[in-house]
Structure 1
């Protein structure tokens, strides 16, 4: 049976290739050797890179670190440009550690612009414009606010909250406190100036002179 199969195979090789069976198998062996030789130049480097990237992804992430209350400028330090620092992002003033989604929010990711910022307005509008990368959500419509709420729920359920954004103190808020003593002093001065002077020397002298004048006139008479 095996001999019949071999004879049939030899006849097919001669019929379809025009080569003898020995020549055909020699050419086939050389082709396979050439293929593996070429693959050896490209395969190992790609394989090593892929293995290294996979190993980096499988490394356990460090536990989230609480940063407390930070300013917007301080938050920019956690935009993923420094691999030694956690990847942070804020929504509605609440800061979350999104290091586990570095492929999305890290450098080169589709949402990398949002990292290191409070991107509430951009998320609500699904905008990638620089002007919308802010925590100011004034003027948003109901649908945009609803979309922002959905993003916030997603972050609250998936990521760890590690801090809040420090609100800048407006100049108008600090002015009254500093101006209170001056206003009080002004009020006291105004009160003092409006209060009539009592028993001043000039008034007492004038009253006494007025009382003595009738007496002097009577003596003359």
Structure 2
């Protein structure tokens, strides 16, 4: 055995060391079992450590709750029960709104990345900030409105329909030479209903038929929904004298039908109410915009 002593340097042999447990930790699931503390196991070990802490906190809270109930049973005054530190927070209205905002933000960024547009190339007045936060809303007189007829450089083109003023500068049909330029700078509620653009540039809607009132309602909705025409204000309209004559229709047949017949004010009011309850429909090819 001399060779063994020589291998050991002539002295006593070192004690035996079991290196099989080096770098290992107890398995949190199985007693008396060790697992390697390698990177692949660390998330698993950290999760079980977190669970143990949560269970300890919950057990401490249950103990405080029991002690509080015992004091209440004994007639002692106690304060409010503390919230369970391990309870999951409920998603309230604020949390739901936050989720919706984040979802819309993600969808917008995805649209910008994929299509180059935050709205996925969808264009509508509802995608513009001015629709929800109108600016430059002003009050016009008929004389002031007439100055915005598209004939002055660097000045927008406006029209009015039933008191609402719209900027139609992006519409070529409203510029000089266009088919609707005759309405630029004017209130034309009656003209939109009857089609008499030259003679009915007025807000007087007395004597209009139900179909003409439906046509007016259609055009009002047309400007409300149009993506390029923005409402910029209201025009102050003078009251209509009930004793004044009703504007004569530009169509001779319709003019003869209504000649000398002045409808009662109640019937006109009833016609307007009935129109408001019907769906706005486009008049068949009557005033299609170019």
TM-score normalised by L of structure 2 = 0.35
TM-score normalised by L of structure 1 = 0.45
Q: Flag the structure with higher helix content.
A: 1
Q: Which has the larger radius of gyration?
A: 1
Higher relative contact order (CA 8 A, sep 6+): 1
